[in-house]
Structure 1
Amino acid sequence: MTRSEVTPALPAARPLGLILIIGALSAFGPLSIDMYLPGLPALSGDLHGPAWQVQLTLSACLLGLAGGQVLAGPLSDSLGRRRPLLIGLLVYALASALCALAPSVPALVALRFLQGVAGAAGIVIARAIVRDHYRGAEVARFFAMTMMISGMAPIMAPVFGGLLLKLTSWRGIFVVLTVMGLALLAAAAFGLAESLPPDRRRVGGLRATVAAFRMLLSDRSFVGYALASGLAFAAMFAYISGSPFVLQQIYAVSPQVFSLIFAVNAIGIVVANQISARLVSRIDPRRLMGLGIGVSLLGGLLLVAAVQSGAGLLGVIPAFFLAVASIGLIGPNATALALAEQPQDVLGSASG
């Protein structure tokens, strides 16, 4: 299939059910990571592991989320969107249940990697489903709307996690993730139809998959947009992995206060998503993405200045807010631009 052979765009309507399910699938990353962030110090004491080792449970999940997208994307191009998605959701629920029973930090690290790989199927296939249905600015607008839902995850997840720690241990957080995984499995099974018909699936096995990735990597525009999105999310995940220990141990805030700070920062994502969704039909997505990159750079420079000057917590929080909020401008627009010109039979690979 050539780059020009794309399926006709569906009507511009954005059904609420599809928005909710796609948004929830896109939230797998923040849900899997942010909900248990307030419990990291307690987890360290319970499993008798040093802070650096406990942080590996976060790194393992992030690595699984990244690697799983490379696997799930091509599979969805060959097998259709529905089957790999449902299998991924089932494995995610099982891995979450096993995380709740983990006897040691190394065991939890391995299970978190599996949880991340399985959760990646929801993230990457959700993007491909959107691109199966929509074209042009409508893709960026749909991504902005779904990111409002997924953007609520980093706001509510740490707050919910902090509240759960008042009722149960960190293990209870993984029980809740298990229930969420099963609920989304049911929602996808009954609420999502197959969006990639057999005649538009990629055939040819491993050779075709390698060819698809070669084509994508030779597309300078695709690589540029993917790098913009990837580097922005890398900065955010650096904040996610370090902030629990920095804020709670260096600045001595409680798990509940940390959750509120984290939520306030994440509100910036929702605000930026709203701005992007309203402006994308009037302003080129490239300009909106560029604005987001500028905001991210400003946040990073302010953070360095705050740390070097000893400004304390009040100097660090605004810098965090700007750096995190920029994701709401960069993410949906960079993703839509990266997928805009790709043929349908490589959308899963491109979405990873």
Structure 2
Amino acid sequence: MHQSDHRTAPAGHAPVNPAPADPAAAVPVAPGGAGATPTDDAPHQRPDARHVLLLGAMCALPAISTDIYLPSLPDVARDLGTSAAAAQLTMTGMLIGGAVGQLVIGPLSDRLGRRTPVLVGVALHVVVSLLCAVAPAIVPLIALRVAQGFFNASATVVAMALIRDRFVGSDASRLMSRLMLVIGVAPLFAPSLGGVIAGQWGWRAVFVVLAVLGVGLWLVVARRMPETLPVERRRPSGVRAALSGYAHLLRDRHFVALAVLPGLTMAVLMTYVVASPFVLRVGYGLTEHQFALLFAVNGVGLVLGAQVNAALVRRVAPIRILRVAVVLTVLLTAALLAVALTGFGGLWSLVVVLWLVLALVNFAPPNATAIALGRHGTMAGTAAAFIGALQAGTGGVVANLSGVLGGGPVAMAVVMLASATVALAVLALATPAFRRGGAWQQLT
């Protein structure tokens, strides 16, 4: 269902486009594109280094909490006397917790303001991290990681809300691109740091470090992050209003299809993240430091892909980029499966194809999200939380399948290929993206 009027969106949300008679024909305004203008009560500012660092640190907290722990997965399985699949649940559980957290905290930040949810959430992240450090068995550790993901979501949700509150148009688009550079530091250095910490003091010390990082972020937010949502702009929405908003989104089948795509792409990424310690360390015998170095190299691919996409989207319609990226991801994951099955080229072939797959991962989510949010400009906060929850939840559920299938390179490649194939099927069958003269022809 679409908004059918021409009014300006509430402050902190994207402008609403005039909706054509056919809901599927709605043309979203791309960030930074023509028609992206500030609302009357949203201050128009220029992002500077302080904004990038603060918001980047907030967005990076879940990524750091995931990546710093990666090298410890085999040690956790051995120390707690459990299987690789059970140890992987401590990763996917955090993603599922983050999905639920976004659904809950997103509407809360519209009602209570921005500072309170993030300060409470980060404080509880510190407490949960310390409890993880003393977890006696795998089941309590999984439950605590779910809680950690839930509270971590506060930092990401509020950071996105801050961008909507303070920046519009091309400034918001540039800020998002710069954030990817800051967020990209996590996969570059966090596994190396986690490997060193676990090697010296054991995997439990990793969670102590996460608690310390949480304390540092809490202090920075408390001192430097202003309240960007005035009382007069807050929405007096409760549980019923939030559920009504989500029900409204579910009735728009094209929005739902687009919202699923980032989650399926996240499943490709998280399958690699969750399976790689066992594939590379156990299967190929890499040391902790070798694994961390290889993980960092693949992290460079993620960052470069995001920056290439940010440059392309200024000249190429998002739907065009989305179509090409999804098709290429299917082809490359199929090549990855062929390498895993045949062993052709050994470790180096596997690593090269993996790098190419990961370089494509950051193409689909921002473009699918931009198109989806353009369909619901007056409720962009709820729509963003819906997309984020699907992204984290889908990635969390699917990624653990590689462990269920055996945890080797073939299992990893099968799950990655299946996720990419489903993404292509959704794009082709549930949206008009590939239809000649279809509803989005004007975007192509």
When normalised by structure 2's length, the TM-score is 0.74
- 1:183 maps to 216
Is 1:246 aligned to residue 279 of structure 2?
A: yes
Residue pair 1:292, 1:329 contacting (<8 A) in 2 also: yes
- 1:329 maps to 363
Residue pair 1:145, 1:273 contacting (<8 A) in 2 also: no
- 1:129-144 matches, cutoff 5 A: 129-144=162-177
Residue pair 1:81, 1:196 contacting (<8 A) in 2 also: yes
Cα shift at 1:222: 3.4
Is 1:157 aligned to residue 215 of structure 2?
A: no
Residue pair 1:74, 1:348 contacting (<8 A) in 2 also: yes
Is 1:148 aligned to residue 181 of structure 2?
A: yes
Is 1:213 aligned to residue 223 of structure 2?
A: no
Greater shift in the superposed pair: 294-303 or 84-93: 294-303
Cα shift at 1:48: 2.2
> Number of aligned pairs?
352
- 1:97 maps to 130
- 1:179-328 matches, cutoff 5 A: 179-311=212-344, 312-328=346-362
Is 1:18 aligned to residue 51 of structure 2?
A: yes
CA distance in 1, matches of 2:228, 2:323: 32
- 2:87 maps to 54
CA distance in 1, matches of 2:79, 2:103: 34
Question: Measured at CA, do residues 72 and 306 of structure 1 come closer, stay the same or move farther in structure 2, by a change above 3 Å?
Answer: same
Cα shift at 1:74: 1.5
Which has more radius of gyration?
Answer: 2
> Which whole-Å deviations, capped at 9, do the CAs of 1:156-175 have from their partners, x for residues lacking one?
11111112223221111111
Cα shift at 1:176: 1.0
Residue pair 1:69, 1:124 contacting (<8 A) in 2 also: yes
CA distance in 2, matches of 1:3, 1:151: 38
Cα shift at 1:221: 4.8
Greater shift in the superposed pair: 340-349 or 149-158: 340-349
Residue pair 2:107, 2:237 contacting (<8 A) in 1 also: no
**Structure 1 stretches of 4+ moved >4 Å:** 343-346
Equivalent position to 1:350, from 384, 403, 414: 384
Greater shift in the superposed pair: 81-90 or 220-229: 220-229
Residue pair 1:76, 1:348 contacting (<8 A) in 2 also: no
Equivalent position to 1:5, from 8, 22, 43: 8
Residue pair 2:47, 2:171 contacting (<8 A) in 1 also: no
Question: Measured at CA, do residues 133 and 281 of structure 1 come closer, stay the same or move farther in structure 2, by a change above 3 Å?
Answer: farther
CA distance in 2, matches of 1:208, 1:137: 32
In structure 2, runs of 5+ residues without a counterpart are: 12-38, 389-444
Which amino acid in 2 is paired with 1:25?
M
Question: Measured at CA, do residues 286 and 185 of structure 1 come closer, stay the same or move farther in structure 2, by a change above 3 Å?
Answer: farther
Cα shift at 1:343: 4.4
Which amino acid in 2 is paired with 1:208?
A
Which amino acid in 2 is paired with 1:67?
V
- 1:32 maps to 65
CA distance in 2, matches of 1:136, 1:339: 14
When normalised by structure 1's length, the TM-score is 0.92
**Percent of counterpart pairs with the same letter?**
37
Greater shift in the superposed pair: 264-273 or 162-171: 162-171
- 2:373 maps to 339
> Which whole-Å deviations, capped at 9, do the CAs of 1:277-326 have from their partners, x for residues lacking one?
33333333333344433442233122111112222312211222122222
> Which whole-Å deviations, capped at 9, do the CAs of 1:192-231 have from their partners, x for residues lacking one?
2122222222224122111211222234453333222111
Which amino acid in 2 is paired with 1:43?
V
Question: Measured at CA, do residues 134 and 263 of structure 1 come closer, stay the same or move farther in structure 2, by a change above 3 Å?
Answer: same
> Which whole-Å deviations, capped at 9, do the CAs of 1:315-352 have from their partners, x for residues lacking one?
21122212222233233333344334544665155234
In structure 1, runs of 5+ residues without a counterpart are: none
Higher fraction of helix = 1
Compute the RMSD of aligned alpha carbons. Answer: 2.2
> Which whole-Å deviations, capped at 9, do the CAs of 1:220-260 have from their partners, x for residues lacking one?
45333322211111111111111111111112211211111
CA distance in 1, matches of 2:232, 2:282: 56
Greater shift in the superposed pair: 127-136 or 13-22: 127-136
Residue pair 1:128, 1:348 contacting (<8 A) in 2 also: no
